[in-house]
Structures are given as structure tokens and as C-alpha cells.
Amino acid sequence: MVRTEAETATAAQFMVGLVESNKERYSDQLEMLETYYRGSWFFETTPKLPDTYRPPHGDVLLAYIDAIAVGTIAICRMDDQFCEIRSMFVPSEHRGQGIATALCLDALKLAQTYGYTGARLTTGEKQPEAHGLYQKLGFSLVTPWDPNPRTEIWYFEKVIA
């Protein structure tokens, strides 16, 4: 769990990496990405976690191999029942080692300890590896909960209690 300034800075670097990765993958939708990520906490010179990513309603986790951070994931409160899993990122040089699976499972366990009975997440249409991972972990495609859903976004949900 991210608690120190150094850990926060590391998580922020991964989240910036996620944005850059998404810019490559969604190069035809850069304006949408700019709008979505504009003003995000992780672009700050000295990043600080927003309250939504702090206990008891949210958290940010880092994965480590041999004391080197290799990925991140966040959870935040949606309502009394559901948390949202957000901003999972594992750099390409560390993919294929089960890190994303471990991060998701740890996030789900943490969500249970915070009292959530379900987890939701979204992912883009151009991320088939993410779709496969979430379905492998028991997430199901669901009707969008967003009042203005976009067709390029896939909505997933999993009961965890």
C-alpha cells in the first residue's frame, strides 16, 4: 500500500506511464484522453494522493519484484457497495509474469476488508489483454453505470462478498 512520499511518487510515475501507453494505443482519440486525464494528481510536481485513494474508502497498491516496483493499481469508493478498480499499470518489460493478476487479486482482497461487496472497472475497447484478464478473474461485462456511457468503454463488475 502506498503510504510514503516516495511510494506516492512511484505510483504517480506508473500512472503517467499508463497515460502514455494509452496515448499510443488510442492515438486516434487523443483529445478524449487529454480531457479525461487533465488535472490528474499524478501530473503534479510533488504528487499527493487524493482522499478518494486513501483508507478507509480507497487505496493504491504497488507490486514489487526484488524490492523494485513493477506495477500499480488503485481502488476508490463508488458507493456503499461498490469500489472501482482504477489505473492498473504494469510496464511492458514486466508483463507476462502474473503481476497484473496479483495486483487485481490484492485489490479485491483489500476492497473486501474495506467492506465493499462488489468491484467495478472500465477498460477501453482496444485492450483485449485486459478484457481477458478481468474475465479470467470472474468479472462480467455489465450495463454501463455511467449516465453518459461511451461505446468505446467496456464496463465490468464482480461480486466479491
Categorize the per-residue pLDDT at 150 as very low, low, confident or very high, splitting at 50, 70 and 90.
confident
Looking at residue 46, its pLDDT comes to: 93
Phi, psi of 82 (to 5 degrees): -115, 140
- Cell matching residue 138: 470472474
Q: Which CATH superfamily is domain 5-159 in?
A: Gcn5-related N-acetyltransferase (GNAT) (3.40.630.30)
d(CA 143, CA 118): 15
d(CA 7, CA 13): 10
d(CA 40, CA 42): 6
Strands 118-124 and 82-89, bridge-based pairing: parallel
Which sequence spans correspond to the domains of the chain? 5-159
Mean pLDDT of the chain: 95
Residue 149 above 90 pLDDT? no
Residues in the chain, how many? 161
Looking at residue 126, its pLDDT comes to: 93
**pLDDT of 34-61, one tens digit each?**
888 999 999 999 999 999 999 999 999 9
Residue 146 above 90 pLDDT? no
CB contact at 8 A, 159 and 117: yes
Residue 147 above 90 pLDDT? no
CA distances from 59 to 9, 24, 109, 120, 135 (A): 14, 27, 12, 15, 23
pTM over 0.85: yes
Looking at residue 33, its pLDDT comes to: 86
